Amino acid sequence: MKVCVIGAGSPYTPELIEQLAGMKEALPVTEFTLMDINTERLEIMYGFCIRFIDFLKFDVRVTKTSNRQEALRGSTFVITQIRVGGNKARINDERIPLSMGLTGQETTGAGGFAKGLRTIPVMIDIARDVEKIAPDAWIINYTNPTGLVAEAVIRHTNAKIAGLCAGGTFAQVWVSNALKVSPDDVRYDFAGLNHMNFSYNLTVKGKPLTPDEFASAAEQNGSIDKELMIKLGALPSPYLQHYYHTSKKIGDSLNAPKTRGEEVIELEKVLFKEFADPNVNTKPESLKKRGGGGYSEVATAVMEAVYNNKDTWVVVNVPNAGVFSFLPDDAVIEVPCIVNAAGIKPLTQGKPPEAVWGLISAVKNYEMLTAEAAVTGNRDAALLALLAHPLVGDYECAKILLEKILEANKDYLPAFIK
């Protein structure tokens, strides 16, 4: 079994290797190919991974390449974790909206829009290469904005893709921590989109949570007002703080000395210095500050389900297919699914709280327009996407914002530059 990682220079790669090393019986990986267009980061990560697999006693062949087609040949799974434009582009995604008094965040609002425009064309190219070179392979995608990526790849290619995010497991963790139960015993209905979702009808071993138990679980979500969650009857994704506490979040960001992207650039300088140290053969402690951990468990759960035809409950980004009547059937949503060798099947969900229908629908409308704009370079679709987004919504503002985003990202948006 060959696993190929596109964007292997990411600091998340060691977590994936560690997870696979602990699953040698279930996922007998024989080759691990690292691919990245940033040759400096690739060389550093390759050297570290060689030392790390030796430390883990993981019997696997590790290869590296900057040639995507070469990396894909013979792959069973293709893990994508790219960042088009790097963290420098992320800083623009944060700073440009903030300069206009809007939310500046890498996956939410205008920042997520900019990242989607850059990322979707590259991910479609990768998916088309997978179709030609490794047609039986599954793409396990963690490239953000993963919901937008899944929307575009599913619409424009026939590649098999699982659009994943660790956020689908947050409610399990919150309930588990609050009630001291196993996460595997926690189930819930789940409605929404990537980084814009709600967990509701929560149960432990099939038994609904009492009001007090729900309140205890809500306390574990430190991003949303507890009283609001109780009124909603749902646990929102932490990213909903940008919708429900908009003024506070924008104020905090404007008053912060640095954006998250600026912090990450400084952190990764330290991280890659440690990765490059020939004496370092385990994950550096500073990796914990990078955030985003936990994705490898979800990725490998899907891989194991497909490889061993093992029915597995996982939250995945898939076409709606009638799950929620207030959204188009072909709209990609984030929803619990059963995954096995036959593919990914979304599960029927209970009726979500009425107070969230409109917000989900508005953001889905924005996502579908953004995916169209990213593929076609259509400026009208791009403008209408920003206008449709609840965190933008003003026409004069959207026009100025679009031009600023297109100018800042012109090196990555050939479809828009006629």
Q: Is 404 helix (H, G, I), strand (E, B) or coil?
A: helix
pLDDT at 164: 96
The string of pLDDT tens digits covering residues 204-217 is: 999 999 999 999 99
The string of pLDDT tens digits covering residues 288-332 is: 777 656 789 999 999 999 999 999 999 999 999 999 999 999 999
- Phi, psi of 203, rounded to the nearest 5 degrees: -135, 155
In 3D space, the residue among 103, 147, 98 whose CA is nearest the CA of residue 123 turns out to be 147
pLDDT at 122: 98
User: Catalytic residue at 412?
Assistant: no
DSSP labels, 124-160:
HHHHHHHHHH-TTPEEEE--SSHHHHHHHHHHH---E
CB neighbourhood size of 406 (10 A): 17
The string of pLDDT tens digits covering residues 32-62 is: 999 999 999 999 999 999 999 999 999 999 9
CA 224 from chain centre, in angstroms, equals 20
Rounded Cα–Cα distance for residues 310 and 27 (Å): 12
Write out residues in the chain with pLDDT < 50, as ranges.
none
pLDDT at 291: 65
Spell out the residues 6+ positions from residue 398 whose beta carbon is closer than 8 angstroms to its own. Answer: 383, 386, 387, 392
In 3D space, the residue among 149, 169, 153, 196 whose CA is nearest the CA of residue 327 turns out to be 196
pLDDT at 369: 98
Q: Angle, nearest 10°, between helix axes 109-133 and 357-376?
A: 60
Global pTM reads 0.95
Catalytic residue among 142, 239, 243, 295: 239
Domain boundaries defined on the chain: 2-164+259-282
Rounded Cα–Cα distance for residues 131 and 245 (Å): 42
pLDDT at 292: 59
pLDDT at 264: 94
pLDDT at 286: 81
Altogether, the residues listed in the chain come to a count of: 418
pLDDT at 307: 97
Alpha-carbon Rg for the chain, nearest whole angstrom, is: 21
- Tokens representing residue 21 in the block: 């090393």
Residue 238: is the preceding peptide bond cis (ω within 30°)? no
Q: Cα separations (Å) of 146 from 138, 165, 277, 304, 352?
A: 15, 7, 32, 21, 22
pLDDT at 327: 97
- Report the chain's mean pLDDT, rounded to a whole number: 96
CB neighbourhood size of 182 (10 A): 11
In 3D space, the residue among 57, 67, 49, 73 whose CA is nearest the CA of residue 22 turns out to be 57
pLDDT at 293: 63
Class of domain 2-164+259-282: alpha beta
276-315 residues labelled b (16+ CB within 10 A) or e (exposed): eeeebeebbeebeebeeebbbebbbbbbbbbbeeeeeebb
